Homo-oligomer: A and B are copies of this chain.
């Protein structure tokens, strides 16, 4: 902390003593140097050309239409909402086009629209569609007002010199100053948001800071960088300290990291252009570029992971295009970003975009695929994190995510120690993500729907253990935010066996949960296989529910299931259970239950320990969903009733081939013959996996006293195992 404080003071001093900002326009996001570079380069880089053409089409279409600045009325996805959004895109496009073509019609358009906004803005009260604690004026939430201003500040900078001083003064006085004041200090809670460590705060400070630079207003810039009190305790710089872990993981999770990265990188680029002496991209060991790297790592085949509140987002979203281009321009040694740019096939029309397009052509990279990673969460990197285990170097690679983070602010889910699995280009064991139809007005105004809390956030919606049909921390964000999971150990150094182990002590009073998951790739298996050990320990008796949400079509079980064929009822009445239809139940007297399904052209089997108390349930999302907001996805669930100490052991195996095109089927059965737990105590768990070809593997994990250097000797069912470190894996003779 002291180091961070010292840094902030240095920055404030630098800022105070620095000369006034460059007065040159454009110089905010796009610079005159960038304009020259783009003019010179058009026609040389096809993907950049098409990004430019896309922007030009937006601007030209805007110029052909009448300017409409409607009185705000509709929520997300509604007419006035979309119109004001379109307007900022159009101004941004026209401003940029003016710089590149020199054609005044574009500047005139921006000026005219700004004049309209300036004449309307002072007349506006809060937005009439009240669904947010922080309503905007143009939009239902102040957040969108900030986004509007980030784009418009850029447009204003581009046409600044074109607009005469009288008009500028009118626009600044009636529009930009009131808006900056509203965003930073308006009713009812904007002051709080502006000074909050949250992505909304980043948008707010970026907006105020950018318009501050554009209008050469030191006060606004000062507030943006160091908070309303200008003491560095809040503001953009402080956000860089707090919102990212030292590994560049954003505490709200990848989906919001994607969203926050936009103002972070955009405003940072502006700071770099206006005050290069602040060396913003070097701040905190280059935390911004780390954050971009981490963001692109949190994806499978270019689709961002569904952790916490999340919808479908890919590398091709504009915010990740901004992030990649800006990060690359400010650290051209990071050539791995060029492969992401190649996948994006699109660039920002700015200094950063053209620099990236040029470099990409020069490098002509082969596609690269992401590797494994363990990312810490928390400002100091000591609040758990996420592990990403990957195997394979094609777009069919296997990828397992393991979440052991802090709560993740308001968008966090109660999903401690949850996993997701991707394989063969598909989502196999998904995380549901969020219940929201972004910008679809009839779907609760495009907001998160009620089911986001009642279903998506609840523990039972995730691939982890629910105790006594209640969610972690009683689904209370205040309690959950006081705690975080932890990694016990991890090792991703050996591609044959990657392993991560996490612990959660606080989700349920008196219950300790430990999960150890390994991704195994060796000659016994066609594809990488996950071995999953989930220990629950308590002094009292509980019922444990452990679902695996799967994508695909059920193929078989190795036990009888009774399906409810003429009537469906819900699995429970609250904590998310009310949203699950109970489709089938089964029990088995075998030592393992096996469930097989097919997804794409591959089979998947979960083979899991079973005893006479184990109940197996098939359930499906969709109950208590009066407005058809849910996706009706299935799960296979293990219920273990009345246990104080219980350990789930499962092997999740992709296998075989289902080629409907050639009508070829291979290996539709798992190669696992038996899963056995031969030791499970406070110190160790040892699992024996027998294959149908009679090969036998032992996996041992340490449950306590973790140390990479300790040497352990275990007597497991007559077998003496000696190893150094936290785990042991070996083929043994049967």
Inter-subunit contact B440/A598 (CB<8 Å): yes
* Chain A 624-647: CB-based contact to B (< 8 A → 1; otherwise 0): 111110011000000000000000
**What are 29 A-B residue pairs whose CB atoms fall within 8 Å in the complex?**
A76-B665, A77-B665, A313-B660, A316-B661, A437-B598, A438-B663, A439-B664, A439-B665, A440-B555, A440-B658, A440-B665, A442-B596, A442-B668, A443-B555, A553-B628, A554-B628, A563-B625, A563-B626, A565-B624, A565-B625, A565-B626, A566-B569, A566-B570, A566-B578, A566-B624, A567-B567, A567-B570, A568-B568, A584-B628
Inter-subunit contact A77/B620 (CB<8 Å): no
A354 lies within 8 A of chain B by Cβ: no
Inter-subunit contact B625/A313 (CB<8 Å): no
Inter-subunit contact B623/A565 (CB<8 Å): yes
* Chain A 280-315: CB-based contact to B (< 8 A → 1; otherwise 0): 000000000000000000000000000000011110
Instruction: Tell me the A residues contacting B by CB distance below 8 Å.
Output: 76-77, 82, 85-86, 311-314, 316-318, 437-443, 446, 553-556, 563, 565-570, 578, 581, 584, 596, 598, 618, 620, 623-628, 631-632, 658, 660-666, 668
With A317-B661, A565-B625, A567-B567 as given contacts, are A666 and B82 in contact (CB-CB < 8 Å)? yes
Inter-subunit contact B625/A441 (CB<8 Å): no
* Copies of this chain assembled into the complex: 2
Interface centre among A85, A563, A668 (most CB of B within 10 A): A668
**Which 8 A-B residue pairings sit nearest by Cβ, starting from the closest?**
A442-B556, A554-B628, A439-B665, A568-B568, A77-B665, A565-B624, A563-B626, A317-B661
Distance in angstroms from A442 CB to nearest chain B CB is 4
Residues from chain B with Cβ under 8 Å of A620 in the complex: 632
With A567-B569, A581-B568 as given contacts, are A312 and B82 in contact (CB-CB < 8 Å)? no
Distance in angstroms from A290 CB to nearest chain B CB is 25
A618 to B625, CA, bound (A): 13
**Which residue in chain B gives the minimum CB-CB distance to A442?**
B556
Residues from chain B with Cβ under 8 Å of A442 in the complex: 555-556, 596, 668
Inter-subunit contact B318/A665 (CB<8 Å): no
A312 to B624, CA, bound (A): 33
Distance in angstroms from A235 CB to nearest chain B CB is 26
A578 to B556, CA, bound (A): 23
Inter-subunit contact B660/A311 (CB<8 Å): yes
Residues from chain B with Cβ under 8 Å of A624 in the complex: 565-566
A381 to B86, CA, bound (A): 54
Interface centre among A86, A620, A626, A631 (most CB of B within 10 A): A626
A442 to B665, CA, bound (A): 12
**Which residue in chain B gives the minimum CB-CB distance to A624?**
B565
Residues from chain B with Cβ under 8 Å of A77 in the complex: 665, 668
Residues from chain B with Cβ under 8 Å of A313 in the complex: 660-661
Residues from chain B with Cβ under 8 Å of A76 in the complex: 665
A65 to B83, CA, bound (A): 66
Inter-subunit contact A623/B566 (CB<8 Å): yes
Distance in angstroms from A245 CB to nearest chain B CB is 27
